[in-house]
Every structure is written in structure tokens, then in C-alpha cells.
């Protein structure tokens, strides 16, 4: 199975984000799947997700209050190809008090694009990410 992990994180600035992405990638590879990681900030113009069987999207939570998706979220999903009836999961990196509300908004945004969600979670740390990675796919 080909898995696309699209993230709106900043792994160069935040070591926690980098660790979470590495643990997710390792867990998916251990399941025998092929995974490609896309940074939505830098790869959005060349990213095509039509050829993938499973779409996983991970976003950061708002720092304190308020549940907001990244500004480019809708634009990225609209321009990355046909996503209708693809399986996927919604993941949010925990920070602040509104992580679950952000997860709900992420799920709603993904379902608007036609992605069929079969898993969602709030990732607390890199160790939790290795557990979550086993659920992807």
C-alpha cells in the first residue's frame, strides 16, 4: 500500500515535530507499506496524491486557545489531485487546550474533499507517534 503523509509541521524548528514524523515513518515502514512524506509548506505546488492508497494528514494544534487549521489547508488539498473515496487519517500534534477541537475541524476539512476517514488521534509525543503509526493504513 502506498501511504502519503502530508504535514503542516515545522520539523526544522521543532525537534518534537521531527521526532514525531520519524516515528510515524518507521512504524508505517514496519507494516510493510511504502510511505512518502510531504511538507505542505514547501511541496504544495508539486504534490500529487492521486496515486496513493492512503492519505494521512498531520497538523499542529493552536498554541493556547482556538482551533484553527493552517491557512493553506484547503488550497493544498484542492490542488493535489483527486482524493475522492481514498482512505485516510487525521492527526493533530498536541499543544494547548484545543487539540481535539482542531482534530474535529481537520476531519471535517478532509471529509469535504471526499477522503474516507478510518482513524483520528491527537499525537502527544514521539513515543505516542510510534503507536499511532501502527494504526495508519
Q: What letter does residue 103 receive in the DSSP assignment?
A: H
Grid cell, residue 126, equals 514521539
Distances (CA, A) of 97 to 7, 46, 100, 107: 21, 34, 8, 18
Is 90 exceeded by the pLDDT of residue 95?
no
Q: Which CATH superfamily is domain 2-133 in?
A: Flavodoxin domain (3.40.50.360)
The answer to whether 57 and 110 are in contact (CB under 8 A) is yes
Model pLDDT for residues 61-74, shown as the tens digit of each residue: 987 778 889 989 99
Model pLDDT for residues 100-128, shown as the tens digit of each residue: 999 999 999 999 999 999 999 999 999 99
- Residue given cell 514547501 in the structure block: 42
Is 90 exceeded by the pLDDT of residue 20?
yes
Q: How far apart are CA 47 and CA 69, in angstroms?
A: 19
Is 90 exceeded by the pLDDT of residue 1?
yes
Please give the pLDDT value at position 112.
Answer: 95
All structural domains of the chain with their residue ranges? 2-133
Q: How far apart are CA 56 and CA 43, in angstroms?
A: 15
Starting at the earlier edge strand, list the strands of the sheet with 116-123.
34-39, 2-7, 54-60, 87-93, 116-123
Is 90 exceeded by the pLDDT of residue 129?
yes
Angle subtended at Cα 27 by Cα 114 and Cα 62, rounded to the nearest 5 degrees: 55
Is 80 exceeded by the pLDDT of residue 18?
yes
Is 90 exceeded by the pLDDT of residue 97?
no
Amino acid at each position: 500500500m502506498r501511504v502519503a503523509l502530508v504535514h503542516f509541521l515545522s520539523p526544522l524548528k521543532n525537534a518534537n515535530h521531527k521526532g514525531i514524523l520519524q516515528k510515524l515513518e518507521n512504524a508505517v515502514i514496519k507494516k510493510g507499506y511504502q510511505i512518502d512524506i510531504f511538507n505542505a509548506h514547501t511541496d504544495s505546488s508539486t504534490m500529487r496524491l492521486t496515486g496513493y492508497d492512503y492519505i494521512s494528514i498531520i497538523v499542529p494544534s493552536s498554541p493556547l486557545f482556538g482551533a484553527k487549521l493552517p491557512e493553506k489547508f484547503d488550497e493544498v488539498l484542492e490542488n493535489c489531485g483527486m482524493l475522492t473515496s481514498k482512505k485516510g487519517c487525521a492527526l493533530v500534534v498536541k499543544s494547548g487546550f484545543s487539540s481535539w477541537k482542531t482534530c474535529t475541524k481537520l476531519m471535517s476539512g478532509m471529509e469535504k474533499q471526499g477522503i474516507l476517514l478510518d482513524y483520528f488521534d491527537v499525537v502527544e509525543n514521539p513515543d505516542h507517534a510510534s503507536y499511532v503509526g501502527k494504526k495508519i493504513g
